[in-house]
Structure 1
Amino acid sequence: MSDRQVAELQAEIAACTICAEHLPLGPRPVVQFSPRSRILIIGQAPGTKVHASGTPWDDDSGDRLRGWLGLEKPEFYDPDCVALMPMGFCYPGKAKGGDAPPRKECAPAWHEHILDLLPENRLTLLVGAYAQAAYLPEARRLSLTERVRRGPEFAPFLPLPHPAWRVRVWMTKQRWFEAETLPRLRSLVTTSLTG
Structure 2
Amino acid sequence: MSEPFGFDLPDNSKELTDKEYVNLVNRIRGNFLSYVSVLDSTLTVIISDLFLRDKNDFPLWAKTVFDEDRTASFGTKIVWISRIMKNHQEFKKEIEEKTRIKIQQKLNEIREIRNDFAHNFAQNKKIESENIKNRIIKLYDFEEGMTTPKLFKMEEIMDLINDPWILEQLEKIEALTKKIREN
TM-score, normalised on structure 2?
0.27
